[in-house]
Amino acid sequence: MTVSSAVEAIVTSEYEHGFVTEIASDTLPPGLDEGVVRAISARKGEPEFMLDYRLRAFRHWQTMTAPRWAQVHYPPIDFQAISYFSAPKSKDGPKSLDEIDPALLETYTKLGIPIEEQMALSGIAVDAVFDSVSVATTFRTQLAAAGVIFCAISEAVHDHPDLIKQYLGSVVPHTDNFYAALNAAVFSDGTFVYVPKGVRCPMELSTYFRINARNTGQFERTLIIAEAGSYVSYLEGCTAPMRDENQLHAAVVELIAMDDAEIKYSTVQNWYPGDAKGRGGIYNFVTKRGDCRGARSKISWTQVETGSAITWKYPSCLLRGDDSVGEFYSVAVTKGRQQADTGTKMIHLGRNTSSTIVSKGIAAGEGEQTYRGLVRIATKAAGARNHTQCDSLLIGARCAAHTVPYIEVKNPTAQTEHEATTSKISDDQLFYCRSRGLTAEDAVSMIVNGFCKEVFKQLPMEFAVEAQKLLSISLEGAVG
Amino acid sequence: MLSVKGLRAKVGEKEILKGLDLEIGRGEIHAIMGPNGSGKSTLAHVLSGRDGYTVTAGSVTFDGQDLLALAPEERAHLGLFLAFQYPVELPGVNNTYFLKAALNAIRAARGQPELDAVAFMRLMKERLKVLHLDDSLLKRPVNFGFSGGEKKRNEIFQMAMLEPKLAILDETDSGLDIDALRIVADGVNALRNPERSVILVTHYQRLLDYIQPDYVHVLARGQIIRSGGKSLALELEEKGYGWLGIEEAA
Ligand SMILES: Nc1ncnc2c1ncn2[C@@H]1O[C@H](COP(=O)(O)OP(=O)(O)OP(=O)(O)O)[C@@H](O)[C@H]1O
Ligand SMILES: [Mg+2]
C-alpha cells in the first residue's frame, strides 16, 4: 500500500460519535432579532444587567459584517436560518445525577465520559453541556471546600453577579469581532470557574460539549478567573452528531490570570467534520483569549483539533504583567475536505514577558490548513522573548499546508525566533514499518503521534492518552 | 523453506529480474553477490512485498505459502525480515517503542500474548549485549540522525529482537568499520540456528570470512548465473565478474 492509498482509506473512515440522541427539547424557531435575545434571557431568568449586556452586543452585531479574511472557503452563513436556543426539556435544572434524563447520561457514556465513574474514581470534575444547557456538574462540593467555584455560567449569573459584571467581556469585549458580538448576544450556557487567591485547584476541571439538536448553533461562553498565586487546569472536549447541514459553533473563552497565577487550558476538539464530499460538519469559529493581567502569571493553551468542517480560531495571550508567560501548543488535523485556519496571537505588553508557540499541522486527503500567528512586541516590552516552532506533516499529495507568521517588534531588546518545517510520510517509511510487522494504519498513527509528541506532553496524562487514541481513530482505516 | 521459481519482475517498464531461481533450505546461509545494478536489492524488495514492482512471471513460496499474495506485514508475521541497504529514518518515533510495537504485532499475529514492558526490556538488554550496541540509540527516534554504521547495526539489532525465520541482509556490511563488521557478524552467528535461514547480499568476500555461507550465488542480468560453495566467493574476489562473462558494472 502506498501513502496515497492509505490516505484514501483514512479519508473514508467513519466518524465515531455521529449518533443522535432522541430527547424532547425546547427549541426556539430559527431567526435572530431583539425578541430572540430577550427570549433567551427570559428563559434563563436573567437579571436586568445581563439582558442589557446582550442587547448592547446584539445592536453592535447588527452593524457588523461577517469577516472573510481567513484562508477557508464556505458559502455565506444565513444567520436567520439558525435556531439560537435548544435545551433538553425538563422543569428545573437537575439537582443530582438521578434527576438527569437517562437518555442524556447514555449519550455521555457513548462518548466515553464516565460521569458516574468519574465521581467515584478519577477525581475529575465534569461539567457537561448538552446543546445549550449545562446538565451535570459533579464534584461541586469538594471544589467548594477549596473555595473554587465551578458551575454553569448561567448559574454564575445568578449566584455570583458581581464577578460576572466585573469580568465578563473584560478580555473579549463584545466589540472585538463579529462572532464575539454574536456570542455575547445569544450565548446560552458555558462554564464559569473562579479560583481564589493562593488556591491550587485540587482536581482537573473538564467540560464536554456536545451539539445534538438539528440546525442549532452552539454559543457557549467560558470564563475562568485565577486570583493571585492560584493554579487551575481545565480541559474541554467536543463532539457532535452527523448531520448533513453545517452547524455553527461560535464560542468565546476568556481567561484571567492575576499575579503569579497559572491557567492551563486544554482542548480536545472532535466536532463532526462532515462527510468525504464535504457535506455537513461543524463550523468552529471561536474566540479564545487569555489575559495575563498579573506579574509572573502564566497561561498555556494546548489544543488538539481533529474535528469540524472548518476551524477558525486563535487562542491568544495578552501578556500584560511583567515577567508573564504565554504558551500555545497545537495539533491540528485536516483530512477529507476539512479546513483549518488556526494559530495564536502573543501580545507582549509587559517587561521580560516570554511566549512559546509550538504548532503541529497534519493535512491528509484534500485537507487544507493554515497556521496564522501574530507575535507583537510593544514598545514597553523590554526583554520580551518569543520562540515559535511551526511544523507541517503532509500525508498524500492533494492536501496543503500554509504558514503565515506575522511578527511586529517595537522594542529593540526583544528576541524572536521562528522555525518552520514541512515533511511528508513517505512510501519508504510506510514500507519500512510494514516490513517490521506493523500495519499501514499503525505506521501512520505511530509517525503522526511521534510528530505531535511535544504537544501531547503538555496535556494532562489521561487526556494525552485520549488525544493519541483520537488521532489514531481519526486517521483510521489506513489498511485497504 | 523459500523457493523462488522463474521470477520475473519489472520496475515501471524496465524488467529487472529475468527468470530467477533460488532454493533456500532451513538453517542455511546463502550469500548473493553480483555487480551493481544487477537486481539484488530488487529481489530483496520483491520478496518482502514493497510496492512499485510488478511480478510478471514465476512464483515464490515460503514455508509452503504463496508469499507474493501477502501484504508486507503478513510476510513479517510469517517470519521474513529484511535488513535494508538504506535503513529509513522515522523522526519522532522512539526506537524502543517502535521495536516493542513491531514485536507485539508479530506476536499477536501468531496468537502469542503480548510481551509486557518488563519482559520486553529484559529481552532487549540481553540482545543489546550481543551486538555491543550503545543503548542511547534506543532512546532516539528510529534511525534518525544515526551514522551509517549505527543504522546498519540497528537493523541487525531489530533482527535479533524479531527472531525471523528468514533474514535478508542487504549489504549490511557496507559502511561498517572493521570492528563493527565483526560485531555484526558475531550477532548473525549468535542467531544462527537450524531453524533460521539467512540471505546475505554482499560485495565483499571479507564478510564471508566471518559468516560462513553454505552457498554462494552470483546474480547478474536479473538471474542467478552461477552457484557454488564458499570457494566461489574467493574466486570472484580474485578474478572479478569479468571471468563469468559479464561486465563489472551492469
Ligand atoms: N524505481 C526504479 N525506477 C527505475 N529503475 C530502478 C528503480 N529501482 C531500481 N531500478 C533499477 O533496477 C536495477 C537494479 O537495481 P537494484 O537496486 O536491485 O541493484 P543492486 O543489485 O541492489 O545494486 P547495488 O549493488 O548497487 O546495491 C538498477 O539498474 C536500478 O537502477
Ligand atoms: Mg542493492
Q: What is the pLDDT of residues B222-245, one digit of tens each?
A: 999 999 998 888 888 888 887 777
User: Could you tell me which residue, A127 or B83, shows the higher pLDDT?
Assistant: B83
Rg of chain A on CA atoms, in Å: 22
- Mean pLDDT, residues A177-186 taken together: 92
- Mean pLDDT, residues A377-404 taken together: 90
Question: Residue B189 belongs to what H/E stretch?
Answer: helix B178-191
pLDDT of residue A444: 87
Range scoring the smallest mean pLDDT among A235-244, A273-282, B49-58, B201-210: A235-244
CATH number at residue B130: 3.40.50.300
**Strands of the B14-24 sheet, one edge to the other:** B14-24, B2-11, B53-62, B65-66
Angle of helix A440-456 relative to helix A461-474, nearest 10 degrees? 140
CA gap A77, A79 in Å, rounded? 6
CA of A163 relative to ligand 1 center, distance in Å: 72
Q: What angle do CA A169, A174, A180 make, to 5 degrees?
A: 100
Range scoring the smallest mean pLDDT among A44-58, A354-368, A409-423: A354-368
Q: Does residue A327 carry a pLDDT above 90?
A: yes
- Mean pLDDT, residues A71-77 taken together: 79
User: Could you tell me which residue, A12 or A153, shows the higher pLDDT?
Assistant: A153
Supply the residue whose CA is at minimum distance from atom 4 of ligand 1: B11
CA gap A401, A333 in Å, rounded? 11
Asked whether residue B15 is domain-assigned, the answer is: yes
Banded model confidence at residue A117, pLDDT cuts 50, 70, 90: very low
pLDDT of residue A238: 58
Banded model confidence at residue A6, pLDDT cuts 50, 70, 90: very low
User: Could you tell me which residue, A245 or A345, shows the higher pLDDT?
Assistant: A345
Q: How many CB atoms lie within 10 A of CB B225?
A: 16
* Helix intervals (H) in A284-412: none
Q: Which ligand 1 atom is the nearest neighbour of the CA of B34?
A: 21
Question: Residue B9 belongs to what H/E stretch?
Answer: strand B2-11
Taking CB atoms and an 8 Å limit, are A436 and B162 in contact across chains? yes
Banded model confidence at residue A337, pLDDT cuts 50, 70, 90: confident
Nearest to A37 by CA among A89, A84, A88, A86: A84
CA gap B201, B190 in Å, rounded? 19
Residues of B at the A interface (Cβ-Cβ below 8 Å)? 48-52, 71-73, 75-77, 81-82, 84, 87-94, 97-98, 101-103, 105-106, 109, 141, 158, 162
Q: Does residue A14 carry a pLDDT above 70?
A: no
pLDDT of residue A107: 54
With a CB cutoff of 8 Å and minimum separation 6, the contacts of B175 are: B148, B149, B152
CA gap A239, A20 in Å, rounded? 11
Q: How many CB atoms lie within 10 A of CB B112?
A: 11
CA gap B9, B59 in Å, rounded? 11
B14 lines ligand 1 (CB under 6 A): yes
CA of B53 relative to ligand 1 center, distance in Å: 11
CA of A427 relative to ligand 1 center, distance in Å: 17
CA gap A208, A188 in Å, rounded? 15
CA gap A194, A196 in Å, rounded? 6
pLDDT of residue A127: 60
Asked whether residue B191 is domain-assigned, the answer is: yes
- Mean pLDDT, residues B148-171 taken together: 93
Cα-Cα-Cα-Cα dihedral sign, residues B153, B158, B160, B161? positive
Residue with cell 570470512: B209
Q: Does residue A121 carry a pLDDT above 70?
A: no
- Mean pLDDT, residues A333-346 taken together: 84
Domain range for B85 is 2-244
Asked whether residue B250 is domain-assigned, the answer is: no
Report the predicted TM-score, pTM, of the whole model to 2 decimal places: 0.79
Q: Does residue A480 carry a pLDDT above 80?
A: no
CA gap A136, A115 in Å, rounded? 8
Q: What is the mean pLDDT of chain B?
A: 91
With a CB cutoff of 8 Å and minimum separation 6, the contacts of B186 are: B130, B210
Q: How many CA atoms lie within 13 A of A386 on its CB side?
A: 34
Taking CB atoms and an 8 Å limit, are B91 and A433 in contact across chains? no
Asked whether residue B13 is domain-assigned, the answer is: yes
pLDDT of residue A362: 87
Range scoring the smallest mean pLDDT among A115-129, A154-168, B50-64: A115-129
Closest in A427, A435, A450 to B76, CB measured: A435
Q: Which three cell numbers stand for residue A266?
A: 486544554
3-state secondary structure of A364: strand
Give the amino acid at A424.
Answer: K
- Mean pLDDT, residues A219-230 taken together: 94
Nearest to A319 by CA among A299, A345, A297, A348: A348
Q: Which three cell numbers stand for residue A194?
A: 473562579
Count of helix runs (H) and strand runs (E) in chain A:
12, 23
Asked whether the beta carbons of A133 and A88 are under 8 A apart, the reply is: yes
Question: Cα-flanking dihedrals φ and ψ of residue A227, to 5°?
Answer: -75, 175
Asked whether residue B249 is domain-assigned, the answer is: no
pLDDT of residue A292: 98
Banded model confidence at residue A199, pLDDT cuts 50, 70, 90: very high
B249 lines ligand 1 (CB under 6 A): no
pLDDT of residue B247: 57
With a CB cutoff of 8 Å and minimum separation 6, the contacts of B174 are: B85, B152, B202, B203, B204
Q: What is the mean pLDDT of chain A?
A: 80
- Strand pairing category for A86-88 and A25-27: antiparallel
3-state secondary structure of A151: strand
Residues with CB under 5 A from ligand 2 (ion): B 40-41, 85
Closest in A432, A438, A439 to B88, CB measured: A432
Query: E strands within A142-243?
Result: 149-152, 189-195, 205-210, 220-226, 231-239
How many domains does the structure of chain B reveal?
1
Taking CB atoms and an 8 Å limit, are A427 and B102 in contact across chains? no
Range scoring the smallest mean pLDDT among A394-398, B6-10, B41-45: A394-398
3-state secondary structure of A312: strand
B40 lines ligand 1 (CB under 6 A): yes
